[in-house]
Structure 1
Amino acid sequence: MAGRFAPRPTRTTVRGGDVVAPGGVPRQASPAAGRVRRWVPGGVLDLGLVLGPLRRGPGDPTFRVDADGAVWRASLTPVGPGTLRVSAHGGEVRGEAWGPGAEWLLERLPDLLGAGDDPGAFVPRHRLVAVAQHRRPGLRLTRTGLVLESLIPSVLEQKVTTDEAYRAWRLLVRKFGVPAPGPGPVGGRMWVMPAPRAWALIPSWEWHRAGVDDKRASTILRAVRVAARLEQAGAMSAEDARARLEVVPGVGVWTSAETVQRSHGAADAVTVGDLHLPGIVGWALAGDRDADDSVMLSLLEPYAGQRHRAARLILLSGRTPARRAPKMPRGDIGKL
């Protein structure tokens, strides 16, 4: 889910977190071998659906998709930077990783691909949701176990257009992050997001150039000062993790939900406070494009415990109201 303006075809979150990850093409050999893990998922698995919500725009320097459908991710793990390449062929998943964080990433590969998720617990209550579930059998909810990795871009996405948020993430990661270890995909270098201290040392004018206002920048700075405490929330329940995140001034219910959906695979963490989601859910389930949060929550009540999954399926159904003009004009504080 997301709380930005004017969904575009490249926006992964508003479409339910799907990226095109074609399959059936033989895997290309990597230029430099990394550590490898093979895993057989129980049932159908769609890499694009599972990992799509982790992509922050088409130019995300931490996320790439190969022509053969393999997904690359660059992450800052608790033991250092790591690059992970995930491909699926013949019912088997192959993970290959490089860098100090390679073993950490491979150890958690099943969780990343939804091994801890239980889609069988979901019972559709609306025909539209049932059809969407039938058409997307490979949907699983990812769990990265990394909190800041999801928190910081979610803060950047607060109350701005999609393009503004993605641009800020792209510029800041490329300028203050580190090159991802390993060979990388064809077509561009990848980057690992900055470490907490690097975020803390970004000068005010660089936030300004990236189009990030003082409020969002200050929220990120407060979060990275307690980075260790926030990362500990990765081992907590989603509810306890949200409570800890919301202690940080500037992190509210919208941001905490967006974070734990990815870090914890939280099936019930429905995004409240979103600009678009209530209207999309209201339109899909009741023909009400002007639904607010209270109406949305009422409509999703039959899915208690699985409301985030229900909302994703609604987004993936494609049944959305006609677009309206943004209520807030796009701004660029970097030009002020």
Structure 2
Amino acid sequence: MTAVLPAPRASASTAPDAETVYRPGFRLDFAGTLAMLGRGPYDPTTVWDLRGMWRTWRTPEGAATLRLSRPSADGGVAASAWGPGAGWAIDAVPRLLGRDDDWSGIDVAGHRLLRDSLHRNPGLRLARTGRMLEALLPAIIEQRVTSLEAYRSWSRLLRWYGEPAPGPAPEGMRVTPTLEQWRGIPSWDWHRAGVDPRRARAVQAVLAVAPSLERAVERAATLDEAQAALQTIPGIGVWTAAETLQRSHGHPDLVSVGDYHLAHQVGEALIGRRVDDDGMLELLEPYAGHRQRVVRLIFASGFRFQRRGPRMALQDHRWH
């Protein structure tokens, strides 16, 4: 999750452009369901406070700021939105809060940690943003570097090129750039933001075909076809496609193969020892169709694997 930022700034008119109260009809783990949206403590698109979450979107209708309040006593989630894309943002609330994510078929009765985690987190759902490009670009920036490096790069780019958030959003929030604005970022600013040439080329490859890529993903008959469409772009591999579709489509089965720590955590959680990616996939095979849900249950359980050996060194890509 992101760090708490200052209170919303004053505004001459703070009345939302659209609002609703969404009642899920199921017990909702509000924080757990939305936890994967923010890209670290510096992300200017996602801010948490004691009452809920602020999130900005680049919607098909334009910029939007969405405010979601934690569920009330009757389970209702109050949602307010500002900006040209406010209506789109409000319409997206049910899928963002996991309405379409069905956990009824998952069977974890045979593993104590998973069974206990599911029992303690019955309202956990996979969020679905519906915004493929907004999930894909930061995933590329996160390739093969530490999370801290990637989070800083993402924050710099949005501070420099993002649009100020509509409405009474907390100070400093930004909406991701338009496609034209992303394409207009000069090479030296990618470098200055700490994004090395290899990742910058992968971003440019996506931006060059973004409209057709989005259409291909939207028209895919299955999530496997959507993954294959993403991986036709140079620089987009299994890890990046998984990180994207987990957020944009709430993919219940894709696992981030190639992650620096994930296989270690899954191995230690499930069998008490570290494994590599192949070992992780073998352990998760009995849960095929629900493997991402199992990973989320491991995260939600509070289990943390024991870090051993050297950590990845922080690198400054801006001056090389």
Normalising by structure 1, report the TM-score: 0.87
Residues 282-303 of structure 1: CA deviation (Å, up to 9, x unaligned): 11111221x1111111111111
Once residues 300 and 242 of structure 1 are traced to their aligned partners in structure 2, the CA distance between those partners, rounded to angstroms, is 19
Q: Which residue of 1 aligns with 2:248?
A: 263
Superposition pairs for residues 198-217 of structure 1, below 5 Å?
198-217=181-200
- Counterpart residue identity of residue 299, structure 2: L
Q: Which residue of 2 aligns with 1:80?
A: 62
- 1:269–1:308 CA contact under 8 A, matched in 2: yes
- Seen in structure 2, the aligned counterparts of structure 1 residues 50 and 234 have a Cα distance that, compared at 3 Å, is farther
2:146 maps to which of 156, 161, 166? 161
Shift of 1:51: 1.0
Q: Which residue of 1 aligns with 2:7?
A: none
Shift of 1:327: 5.0
Identity of aligned residues (%): 48
1:287 maps to which of 233, 248, 272? 272
Q: Does residue 196 of the first structure (1) align with residue 179 of the second (2)? A: yes
Q: Which residue of 1 aligns with 2:93?
A: 109
2:304 maps to which of 296, 317, 320? 320
Q: Which residue of 1 aligns with 2:50?
A: 67
Q: Does residue 297 of the first structure (1) align with residue 244 of the second (2)? A: no
- 1:38–1:94 CA contact under 8 A, matched in 2: yes
- Counterpart residue identity of residue 303, structure 1: Y
2:14 maps to which of 32, 55, 65? 32
Residues 199-244 of structure 1: CA deviation (Å, up to 9, x unaligned): 1111111111111000111111111111112322145332111111
Q: Which residue of 1 aligns with 2:30?
A: 47
- 1:234–1:264 CA contact under 8 A, matched in 2: no
Shift of 1:32: 0.6
Once residues 37 and 213 of structure 2 are traced to their aligned partners in structure 1, the CA distance between those partners, rounded to angstroms, is 19
Partner SS state of residue 157, structure 2: helix
Once residues 113 and 128 of structure 1 are traced to their aligned partners in structure 2, the CA distance between those partners, rounded to angstroms, is 25
Unaligned runs of 5+ in 1: 1-11, 13-18, 22-28
Q: Which residue of 1 aligns with 2:83?
A: 99
Once residues 222 and 335 of structure 1 are traced to their aligned partners in structure 2, the CA distance between those partners, rounded to angstroms, is 23
Shift of 1:154: 0.4
Residues 177-213 of structure 1: CA deviation (Å, up to 9, x unaligned): 111111113xx23100111221111111111111100
Shift of 1:100: 1.1
1:230 maps to which of 205, 208, 213? 213
- 1:84–1:102 CA contact under 8 A, matched in 2: yes
Once residues 314 and 279 of structure 1 are traced to their aligned partners in structure 2, the CA distance between those partners, rounded to angstroms, is 12
- Counterpart residue identity of residue 308, structure 2: R
Residues 268-293 of structure 1: CA deviation (Å, up to 9, x unaligned): 1111111211111111111221x111
Q: Which residue of 2 aligns with 1:309?
A: 293
Partner SS state of residue 205, structure 1: helix
Once residues 191 and 85 of structure 1 are traced to their aligned partners in structure 2, the CA distance between those partners, rounded to angstroms, is 14
Residues 70-113 of structure 1: CA deviation (Å, up to 9, x unaligned): 21110101111111111121210111111111111111110010
- 2:81–2:89 CA contact under 8 A, matched in 1: yes
- 1:179–1:189 CA contact under 8 A, matched in 2: yes
Q: Which residue of 2 aligns with 1:334?
A: 318
Q: Does residue 148 of the first structure (1) align with residue 133 of the second (2)? A: yes
- Seen in structure 2, the aligned counterparts of structure 1 residues 286 and 239 have a Cα distance that, compared at 3 Å, is same
Unaligned runs of 5+ in 2: 5-9
Once residues 287 and 50 of structure 1 are traced to their aligned partners in structure 2, the CA distance between those partners, rounded to angstroms, is 27
Once residues 294 and 189 of structure 2 are traced to their aligned partners in structure 1, the CA distance between those partners, rounded to angstroms, is 39
- Counterpart residue identity of residue 307, structure 1: R
- 1:184–1:190 CA contact under 8 A, matched in 2: yes
Once residues 319 and 33 of structure 1 are traced to their aligned partners in structure 2, the CA distance between those partners, rounded to angstroms, is 42
- 1:213–1:333 CA contact under 8 A, matched in 2: yes
Once residues 20 and 209 of structure 1 are traced to their aligned partners in structure 2, the CA distance between those partners, rounded to angstroms, is 24
- 1:55–1:63 CA contact under 8 A, matched in 2: yes
Superposition pairs for residues 236-255 of structure 1, below 5 Å?
236=220, 237-255=222-240
Once residues 143 and 193 of structure 1 are traced to their aligned partners in structure 2, the CA distance between those partners, rounded to angstroms, is 18
Q: Which residue of 2 aligns with 1:3?
A: none
Q: Which residue of 2 aligns with 1:4?
A: none
Once residues 229 and 142 of structure 1 are traced to their aligned partners in structure 2, the CA distance between those partners, rounded to angstroms, is 24
- Counterpart residue identity of residue 82, structure 1: A
Residues 124-176 of structure 1: CA deviation (Å, up to 9, x unaligned): 13110011111112211001111011000000110001110000000001101
Once residues 169 and 278 of structure 1 are traced to their aligned partners in structure 2, the CA distance between those partners, rounded to angstroms, is 25
